[in-house]
Structure 1
Amino acid sequence: MQDYLVGAIKGQLWQYCPECHVTDITHHISPFNLPQATYICKSAFAYFPLGTFHFVLINLFDRRPDHVLVAEHNGQYIGCADNGLLTMIAGGMPEKVIKIPLAKDEPRNTFAIIKLLAAAARELSRGAALGELAPLTQQIVVKHNLQPLVGDDFIEGQIIHIDAFENVVVNITREQFAAQRKNRRFRIFFRRDEVISQISETYADVPEGTKLALFNAAGYLEIAINKGNAAGLFGLQGFRREQLTQPAGFQQLSYYQTVRIIFQ
């Protein structure tokens, strides 16, 4: 948010689609953090109308690009780099996806990518089918979301997001929790010696300065302190960039990055 890029990208979009409404979701994803980007995108996209075109400009240069992806998923369109994020957001292969090649004489920069995506958005908004822009394909980079570890009497999740209030979001959904709980009692452990034994509905369910667990509006488990900062106080951390590229990333998770729920 401190340089020209966001404004310039919006200007470029309006050149191609002067009639479109451009809105921001976030510009504060941790660098290269695909799990965090997945959480933000999935949680936000669900509230946009059918036909929305989402520009996901994250980790565009994971490798030297020679094409961009445009996908149709849940009645919306997603434009992004071919870096695995698309399959993470869609939870697998999207319904339809195409590769749009960059011209050989185009510079490999953000504006060349935006030009292709904006042109695609313009054609799709005018009624073109995705397959008319380029051949449909399934030959794209595939990556999978971080998934909780589960056992007969536990579920262990990873911290995927820390918000501006330092509330900690864990990749355990309300549905996953209910399926593993099976109406049993539970205790939520984090930082080894911190325990929560109930799920709150709002932050105000506990006194100020008290820790709590709830399922946030996106349906994910959240560890918080009423009018406090859970991440800072407890030293909790999100999944780090270097762990995303290491095969043993899960094994290298520390107790500062995980939340375990024990069922009894």
Structure 2
Amino acid sequence: MRPVFFLSDFGLEDPYAGVVKAVLGQRAPGVPVRDLAHLLPPQDLRRAAFALFQALPYLPEGAVVLGVVDPGVGTARRAIAALGRRFYVGPDNGLFTLAWLLDPPRRAFLLERVAPPDPQGVLPPPGWTPGHHTFHGRDLFAPAAARLALGLPPEGLGPEVPVEGLARLPLRLGPGPEGEILTFDRFGNAVTTLLRAPLGGWVGVGERRIPIRRTFGEVGEGEAVAYLGSAGLLEVGVNRGNAREALGLEEGMPVRLL
């Protein structure tokens, strides 16, 4: 059995995440299911993509990554299972963009032959298709993830499609000198797309020049600082504060190593 690592924006107030896990338990009894995150900002694909990028190096090869951040549920966006060193199940909307920089997909399949959960033991009505529902996490992605977790072949999920056509967000990670603010963590720290943080240097964000240091404590309380974050990307924070609010930062804002 392969473990399933589950990420969503479902939150904890509604039963959505629990229902998805219940379906996984029904379809693949005994398969380990691990929660990565469920309190991500609703429908925020950039934040979710970064969360998967953060987690991926610690997920075992062969694991099933179930990602459900899906603002286009029920539309023409595709539902997919992609295979790299791990298995990825979710909407084809760019959610896996950054994870695939670390683990590029080699094959991909559309989820077109996945039966919905059926707690009453009744077959789906004639003409039923997954696109008629708004809870694909329960009705489509969980059954597909369960099938892969049991070691069953992905060919049974639907037709194979070229990996080159999989959706990706317009994001690029690199050494700079130019980049942008990718997203923010829950503390208000700005995560950039830059892979370098030269100590003693400076980064420009808007009209500000922010010193690059090893950690928050190397500047005074309330002062801005840039540093290499735990995911290997340059981040901008405020010692004992919220950089997003204090500095008026926004996603997509350009940054530049000075």
Q: What is the TM-score normalised by the length of structure 1? A: 0.74
* Partner residue, 2:32: 21
Assess if the C-alpha contact under 8 Å between 1:36 and 1:161 holds in 2.
Answer: yes
* Partner residue, 2:224: 211
Assess if the C-alpha contact under 8 Å between 1:148 and 1:158 holds in 2.
Answer: no
Q: CA deviation at 1:55?
A: 1.4
SS in 2 for 1:41: helix
Q: Is it true that 1:105 corresponds to 2:165 in the alignment?
A: no
* Partner residue, 1:258: 254
Partner AA of 2:205 in structure 1 = F
* Partner residue, 2:5: none
Q: Is it true that 1:76 corresponds to 2:86 in the alignment?
A: yes
Q: Is it true that 1:196 corresponds to 2:218 in the alignment?
A: no
* Partner residue, 2:249: 236
Unpaired segments of 5 or more residues in structure 1?
A: 240-256
For the residues of structure 2 that align with 1:65 and 1:51, how far apart are their CA atoms? Answer: 29
Assess if the C-alpha contact under 8 Å between 2:172 and 2:193 holds in 1.
Answer: yes
* Partner residue, 2:4: none
Assess if the C-alpha contact under 8 Å between 1:157 and 1:171 holds in 2.
Answer: yes
How much is the aligned-residue C-alpha RMSD, in angstroms? 3.0
For the residues of structure 1 that align with 2:162 and 2:239, how far apart are their CA atoms? Answer: 46
Q: CA deviation at 1:93?
A: 6.2
Q: What is the TM-score normalised by the length of structure 2? A: 0.76
Partner AA of 2:40 in structure 1 = I
Q: Report percent identity of matched pairs.
A: 27
Unpaired segments of 5 or more residues in structure 2?
A: 1-10, 116-126
Q: Which is further off, 157-166 or 136-145?
A: 136-145
Q: Deviations over 1:104-133 (max 9, x none)?
A: 414633545534333333332333333354
Assess if the C-alpha contact under 8 Å between 2:70 and 2:91 holds in 1.
Answer: yes
Q: CA deviation at 1:148?
A: 6.5
Q: CA deviation at 1:28?
A: 3.4
Q: Which is further off, 80-89 or 58-67?
A: 58-67
For the residues of structure 1 that align with 2:241 and 2:94, how far apart are their CA atoms? Answer: 35
